[in-house]
Structure 1
Amino acid sequence: MPEGHSVHRIARQFARNFVGKRIGVSSPQGRFVDGAAMLDGHTMTDARTVGKQMFLEFDNGLWLRVHLGLYGAWDFAGDIRVDATVASANGRMGQTGMRGTGDAVLDSAGENSLRSIGAPRLTRLRMAENEKISVEPDGFPPDPIGQVRVRLLGTDVVADLRGPTACEVLDPLQVQAAMDRLGPDPMLDDSPAAEDRFVEVVRKKPTPIGRLLMDQSVVSGIGNVYRAELLFRAGLNPYAPGKSLSDEQARALWRDWAYLLKIGVATGQMMTMDGLSDAAHRRAMKRRADRHWVYKREGLPCRVCGTHITLEEMAARKLYWCPKCQA
């Protein structure tokens, strides 16, 4: 599932390439025909993200809310402007992200650490979880491929959405209600008030901190990778009740999340290791295995104490942690 940094980067992609343009909205799959008709032909006026949810506003006052979930992703094609440049780019964003056709720097998993937005793959299209196809479209716009729930088409850019957990049209009051249900997102609000909100909720809950960090009503954007890495960096046992954390520990968690999230948005990668030499940093940018303290390192020695990293299950998600450093 895309974590907060990816969705923020996808929203920036829409802001650069779609906001201010009249957009044709359709549902090639046929499952979103009524919603598409409400937005078709209107100008996109805003693109926002709160945690893992994205909200696209149109000039008729309606919004498209999208939650990619486990399998959702956006495919982009056309004259996609990435960062400060304009290039012909065809790529995928969401579960796996975007791959441009320019002089990208890719890691061994196909992740573009410099110019990508999202968490990229080498393939442009994923028809199913176990079926990956690379396609270069012939002409513009390319034909929809697979089960495209929503197509957003401008004069020179197109975005296809497939497999989202949520996709709906909302009015402004409904958008505000949806946002109000979400916890604070430090990319939107890194103020003392946002920090206080997080700390207050965490410190009154008997729920394990490992579950609270994944609760989007407590804090927005944290997924399995960031959860494991934040807790290791803080030296916190994932099973410790939230209310057992000191004020200082809770505030440090929030500030570290703000810090790591900004790195993720800037680079497109979940880089969670600090203090690396130049050579080690280059290795980490090329290989995910060198990028994290505990995530997906079950059975391997802890990078700090040598104890084998443990893999367990918490709330139906994989939990990676060091029983000694996080005791």
Structure 2
Amino acid sequence: MLAFTDDPRIQQILTLPEDSDPQWRLDLERFKQGDVTLDRKTAGENTIKAIQRLLIFLGYSTSSSGAFSIDGDFGRGTNRAVAQFQFEHGLNPDVKRSALGYPCTFQTAKTEIVNIPDVKLDQRTAEKMLEVAIQSIENKHVNCGSFEEAIFHLNSLQRNAFLTCRKIWERYGPAVQVAVQRIKAEKNVTIQQEWILSVIRQETAGVVRPRFEQHIFSKLNREMPNAEVSELRYRSMSFGLGQIMGANFKGIGAPSAKAMFTSPIEDQLLYVGKFLCQSSVLRGVVAKKAPAAQDFRTLARIYNGPGFAKHHYHESIARWFGEFRSIMG
């Protein structure tokens, strides 16, 4: 039997509390008993949901698009996650660094993922995953720095239970107020709370859901062939409530990209504020209580990129800003 599976914390990681599907429970028992010689062709849907939850808890993307998804499909993305874990922990000599960092662009990353060989989730790998999960919990090296917070976001992700503006304000409002005060004290920069809250609503809807960018990982791997793969993987992911790329860790004052993943919610909110204040142009925008239409376009261009208009990013930010202003009075 796999070690640690009777630990109530592991049980919280593997399954939703309300899930009473008997097939899920049957598959979960098989998983607990060591029936984990699974690959993309033999995996059962319900068992894979448990595995995907565990991989996401450990910080691995489970979709070929780079998303963190729990869909019960041992597809190319989940296969990549298992291969990454095996490589980082020396569990599978057939997984090569060159394969994990296959050449690609943003446009070809999803199709070229076939360069990563099919792997099996054997018992040795599953044992190590559970062991690392327990160590991460005990060291508080988990998403959002707290086991309870990590489970909230994991369950919300699977339920697609994202937060409205009011729920975001209720859950994060006090910590945003503290972040704004800290930025003022440390940098003498004024930022209105509505800007931080609006970015959170637009980027994550209050549910932390990192995203892995394969093309960035492949680029970093070419540039830093001797760097730890795990750190490069974290630098290639967007994190936290504001979806800030791990490669930006120095600019926002984080000690490392991985530290962005494990940062408490309070620090994540501070990072969003600091990111918004990095640009002198944007500092002038986020200080405004009554922004003009151009201000929303400026934030959208800097935060989302030059293609912001085609998916109306600026319009959404303006809408959320108005909603939060109304809620806050």
TM-score by length of 2: 0.33
> Would you tell me which structure has more helix in proportion to its own residues?
2
> Would you tell me which structure has more strand in proportion to its own residues?
1
